[in-house]
Amino acid sequence: MSSRKIVIGNWKMNPAGLDLARRIALRTRRAAAKLEHTDVIACPPFPFIQACVSRKQPNPLQVGAQSVSIFEAGAHTGEVGADMLRSLGAVCAIVGHSEERERGDTDAVVSKKIARVVEAGMTAVVCVGEKAREEGGAHFDFLKGEIKNTFAGIRADKVRRIILAYEPIWAVGAKEAMAPSEICEMSIFVKKAFADIFGHEAGLRVRVLYGGAVNFRNAQDIVRIGKVDGLLVGRESVNMPGFIELLKAVDAVG
């Protein structure tokens, strides 16, 4: 398993225009080129993906998508398919984000999206996370069930194209991230739940990222103490120069 860290920037519905998207991508690419131990992926809105992809090699910044359709092709107005995204240069797609689950994506829908992404030859960045922390430990049961249902029907030979993003829903958009020591505990739990489905070796290999109120101040402790493989960063990923400082902090972990 690669020891390199991964930082994925989920731009969400930002920025407002194409020119600014290009500038953010350029600044992120220049910052990524200086990193020694970290891979960086930007996930802009659909209309900006192609403009953010660089064909130059070596390319320090890869580009992904924030979502994908459950459909392969056909009469599905407004949908964007996995093959379309790959043809634009996307290397991954985020699926199961809490904001999409809030809008109606069930575990079954997320499972279908994972299948479309991996079948297209991309990596599925699969978000999982509990809605609240329960003193009695009910959140562990919720998370285990969510992982089991989300990966129902996914073939074991496709797990190499899966990255897990643990995002506790209560921490998304919050003022403070989860404590690094608790992140470590949950990362281990998520890997174990994944291993229960796909086997011990798959549990060891799968990369686990953390997301939820990540910024340049807490990024290093989250990665170092939380022992995660990287970060899924939301609003901070379009906040320059904060995101650049975050990348430096993660890279310093080595």
String of DSSP letters for 141-203: HHHHHHHHHHTTT--GGGGGGEEEEE--GGGTT-SSPPPHHHHHHHHHHHHHHHHHHH-HHHH
Look up residue 158 and give its amino acid: K
Determine whether 100 is an active site residue: no
User: First vs last Cα of the chain: how many Å apart?
Assistant: 15
**Residue 116 three-state SS:** helix
String of DSSP letters for 31-100: HHTT-SSEEEEEE--GGGHHHH----SS-SEEEEES---S-SSSS-TT---HHHHHHHTEEEEEES-HHH
Q: Which of 72, 97, 100, 176 is catalytic?
A: 97
Range 84-101 burial, b when 16+ CB lie within 10 A, else e: bbbebbbebbbbbbbbbb
Q: Which of 99, 130, 167, 236 is catalytic?
A: 167
Provide the angle, in degrees to the nearest 10, between the axes of the packed helices 138-150 and 180-198.
Answer: 40
Determine whether 97 is an active site residue: yes
Those residues with Cβ within 8 angstroms of residue 36's Cβ, 6 or more apart along the chain or in another chain: 251
Annotated catalytic residues are: 97, 167
